[in-house]
């Protein structure tokens, strides 16, 4: 799990304590076949109200792990700032596999852009942060799967 913790620190806003919390609460990310299932475990998926042919979507379910949800929301608040990496994040990324670095850098721009796109549409800050957090969980799942598969091989 040490390698997964180190890999998660490639993201902006995720330090050692945050990465350790995610790994300790979730365990192996590979136990979820899809990113959507990991999002459901954490409780960031919207609730649905089906009636016949129609499905109405509501707020997030909140049935999952509240501790991880709170941690992820705290990380997302950093996505509203300028898209730059601190010196500490650059140093952490240098020690990692290039594939992990690529995923982390690929995540930075869409998360930042989505934050401002949803804000411009008039969404409340809480809704925006929750939506961006759900997207961040997908990137976290991708890195976790990549690292766990490389360790297993």
Geometric angle at alpha carbon 149, from 146 and 151, rounded to 5°:
110
Please give the residue that has the higher pLDDT: either 82 or 72.
Answer: 72
Whole-model pTM: value is 0.89
- Are the C-beta atoms of 71 and 18 separated by less than 8 Å? yes
Q: Positive or negative, the Cα torsion across 119, 123, 126, 127?
A: negative
CB burial readout 28-45, b (16+ within 10 A) else e: ebbebeebeebbbbbbbb
Q: Which two tokens stand for residue 52?
A: 């016949």
Of the chain, the end-to-end C-alpha distance in Å amounts to 15
pLDDT of residue 102: 93
Average pLDDT of span 26-42: 93
Length of the chain counted residue by residue: 153
Q: For 64, which DSSP code?
A: S
> How many Å apart are CA 140 and CA 16, to the nearest integer?
14
Average pLDDT of span 63-84: 87
Average pLDDT of span 2-24: 94
pLDDT of residue 8: 95
Q: Which two tokens stand for residue 126?
A: 């809480």
Q: Which two tokens stand for residue 79?
A: 């996505």
Please say if the pLDDT value at position 59 is more than 80. Answer: yes
Tens digit of each residue's pLDDT (9 = 90 or more) over 77-126? 988 887 788 888 888 889 899 999 999 989 988 999 999 999 999 999 99
pLDDT of residue 31: 94
* Radius of gyration over every alpha carbon of the chain, rounded to an integer in angstroms: 16
pLDDT of residue 123: 94
């Amino acid at each position: 799990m040490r390698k997964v913790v180190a890999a998660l620190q490639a993201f902006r806003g995720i330090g050692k304590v945050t990465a350790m919390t995610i790994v300790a609460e979730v365990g192996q990310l590979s136990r979820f076949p899809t990113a959507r299932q990991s999002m459901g475990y954490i409780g960031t998926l919207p609730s649905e109200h089906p009636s016949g042919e129609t499905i109405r979507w509501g707020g997030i379910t909140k049935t999952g792990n509240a501790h991880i949800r709170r941690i992820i929301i705290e990380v997302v608040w950093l996505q509203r700032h300028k898209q730059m990496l601190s010196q500490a994040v650059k140093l952490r990324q240098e020690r990692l596999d290039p594939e992990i670095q690529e995923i982390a850098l690929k995540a930075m721009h869409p998360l930042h852009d989505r934050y401002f796109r949803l804000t411009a549409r008039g969404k409340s800050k809480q809704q925006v942060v929750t939506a961006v957090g759900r997207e961040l969980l997908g990137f976290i799942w991708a890195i976790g799967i990549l690292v766990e598969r490389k360790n297993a091989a």
